[in-house]
Homo-oligomer: A and B are copies of this chain.
Amino acid sequence: MNSELARSLPIGVFDSGVGGLTVLKALREALPAEDLVYLGDTARLPYGTKSPKSIERYACQATRLLQEQGIKLLVVACNTASAVALDALKAQMSPLPVIGVVEPGASAAVQAKPGGSHLVLATEATVRLGAYRRAIEHLDAAASVREHACEMLVSLAEEGWTDGEIATAIIRRYLDDASASASSPDSVILGCTHFPLLRDAIERCLEPGTTVVDSATTTAAVASRMLDETGLRSDGDTAGAIELLATDGATRFARVGGAFLGGKLDASDIRLVDL
């Protein structure tokens, strides 16, 4: 592929559902001139309860569809797929680059506080995979890591109850359960794509001075650097387009996804595709 053509292609973003739209939003803010195409595999969510083999197969199918449309960079905006299928997706996309959400979050936390104590808030599936722990310990042997499953934060974000008394009570309870007798962490990593919607509420429940690492914005920053390193940044200076694809449930995707993307979506904005 010639480099001018490659630069003109969109960035592909893949998630099991709507959560990855927080990553799409961060990419839009960091890279306003890039075209973006998002694929949510809503027909087969959640990935977290599936076997690693199925997750890899699903992720490769989704990536194949994005490759057929033409993309220059793949962002895997799904913690489960990032933890399980990143190597397979890199092999499939090669020589074009692939970015997951786990490494950027882990790296940002370690940079914020070398040798620090980190608390990863995530889904049960992500905690079970232990990918943030491994990534942080790989980068900083002196770091200490706790991971805590916070399933209710997912439904809280999807329900749109991102502020107020109920959100605060649930967040406090999870932070209390996660801390037990341990001291307050130096950084809190939002290890689920849904959680950036709760960032303000979470920050208000933390000790002053705690760093909050949001995998969506850190992943977008890595994507921006990657485009420069590979010479794939768009030549355009007009606002890029966004295309939204899903495998099922356009109405729900539009309703929940609008809040995640920070705007209003209509079911007709989403194109249904088969994998």
Q: A120 to nearest B CB, angstroms? A: 18
With a CB–CB cut-off of 8 A, which chain B residues contact A151? 155, 158-159
Q: Which of B45, B49, B154 contacts A252, CB < 8 Å? A: B49
The yes or no answer to A241 lying at the interface (CB within 8 A) is no
Q: Count residues of chain A with CB under 8 A from any CB of chain B.
A: 23
Contact residues of A: prevailing secondary structure: helix
The yes or no answer to A269 lying at the interface (CB within 8 A) is no
With a CB–CB cut-off of 8 A, which chain B residues contact A166? 166, 169-170, 173
Bound together, the chains give a CA A8 to CA B203 distance in angstroms of 59
The yes or no answer to A124 lying at the interface (CB within 8 A) is yes
B49 near A249 with CB under 8 A, answer yes
With a CB–CB cut-off of 8 A, which chain B residues contact A124? 252
Bound together, the chains give a CA A154 to CA B169 distance in angstroms of 17
Q: A178 to nearest B CB, angstroms? A: 14
The yes or no answer to A147 lying at the interface (CB within 8 A) is no
B155 near A49 with CB under 8 A, answer no
Q: A148 to nearest B CB, angstroms? A: 12
Interface residues of A in 38-63 (CB under 8 A from B): 42-43, 45, 49-51
Bound together, the chains give a CA A161 to CA B249 distance in angstroms of 29
The yes or no answer to A35 lying at the interface (CB within 8 A) is no
Bound together, the chains give a CA A27 to CA B196 distance in angstroms of 43
B51 near A248 with CB under 8 A, answer yes
The yes or no answer to A156 lying at the interface (CB within 8 A) is yes
Q: Which of B43, B161, B165, B173 contacts A50, CB < 8 Å? A: B43
The yes or no answer to A139 lying at the interface (CB within 8 A) is no
Bound together, the chains give a CA A98 to CA B118 distance in angstroms of 52
Q: Which of B42, B50, B173 contacts A49, CB < 8 Å? A: B42
Those 3 A-B pairs whose CB atoms lie nearest each other, nearest first: A155-B155, A152-B155, A166-B169
Known contacts A155-B155, A166-B166, then 13 further A-B pairs from the complex at CB < 8 Å, ordered by chain A residue: A42-B49, A45-B49, A49-B249, A51-B248, A124-B252, A151-B155, A151-B159, A152-B152, A152-B159, A152-B161, A161-B173, A166-B170, A169-B169
